[in-house]
Amino acid sequence: MTNLGVELEINQLEKSFGHLEVLREVDLRINPGEFIAIVGKSGCGKSTLLRHIAGLEKATTGEVKQDDILLDGLNKQARIMFQDARLLPWLTVLENVGVGLGLKKEWMEQAKWALQQVGLEERAKEWPAVLSGGQKQRIALARALASKPKLMLLDEPLGALDALTRLEMQLLIEELWLKQKFTTILVTHDMSEAIKLADRVILIENGSVKLDLRIDLPRPRTRSNPKFAKLEEELLSSVLGKQKLDLQEHRMRKVGNE
């Protein structure tokens, strides 16, 4: 069944830890069912922004609204997936998927449904220790799906995977999003991944939104598409900024001296 995602509106959001400003005047609007990727250098505020949307952090100033309602406390419509699968080793795969479902009578059916969505229903009775890294992340994704959330928050969930497994997981996440249309926010360092998956790529620099890039490419997207490469170059140029110019100048001097 198609799941209609939430609408998010972030207004003048700021967050400081002591004298350290992490987020500065962040304004962002996300439409229901939209897939957003957030990119930027380490320490720029990407994960802090995600934690505010999840309701895990309280803003210094500003606000986060969800479906026109001010978010105050834990976001019950959201599920979050991290780089570490965080499976409980003393529970079976099925029990791990059902952890967030509480004592509902139908928890087992919901957990089985979620496992089917990620293609691992046959591993339901096994222990996490026998799974590969990619399989563990599939289980973590199933756990997030089990409650049929309207908002999926992905904090570098594929960062520790090998290249092939990462590509497989990208395809799976895109397939599930297209089918269920929950609003999705992905934090990633991988510019290519951001362009492949997202409707919009948001670049955070020094705690502020520097770029909001719409990705007008048909799906499924391939990196061999010239438009894909052009968008990736534009995004990398924005991320690297002066650092890229300095690198280009260094290369020109090197060529000139040869």
Domains of the chain, CATH where assigned? 8-77+150-257 (3.40.50.300), 88-148 (no CATH)
The pLDDT value given to residue 258: 52
- Judged against a pLDDT cut of 80, whether residue 255 lies above it is answered with no
- Judged against a pLDDT cut of 50, whether residue 32 lies above it is answered with yes
Instruction: Give me the phi and psi of 72, to 5 degrees please.
Output: -135, 100
CB atoms within 10 A of CB 52: 23
List pLDDT tens digits, range 172-219: 999 999 999 999 999 999 999 999 999 999 999 999 999 999 999 999
The pLDDT value given to residue 100: 79
Collect all residues with Cβ–Cβ distance below 8 Å to 60 and sequence separation of at least 6: 14, 15, 16
pTM above 0.75, yes or no: yes
Distance CA 210, CA 110 (A): 40
Collect all residues with Cβ–Cβ distance below 8 Å to 8 and sequence separation of at least 6: 28, 29, 30, 53, 64, 65, 66, 151, 183
List pLDDT tens digits, range 236-247: 988 887 555 454
SS3 152: strand
Q: What's the whole-number average pLDDT of the chain?
A: 90
Distance CA 162, CA 187 (A): 18
Q: What is the CA radius of gyration of the chain?
A: 20
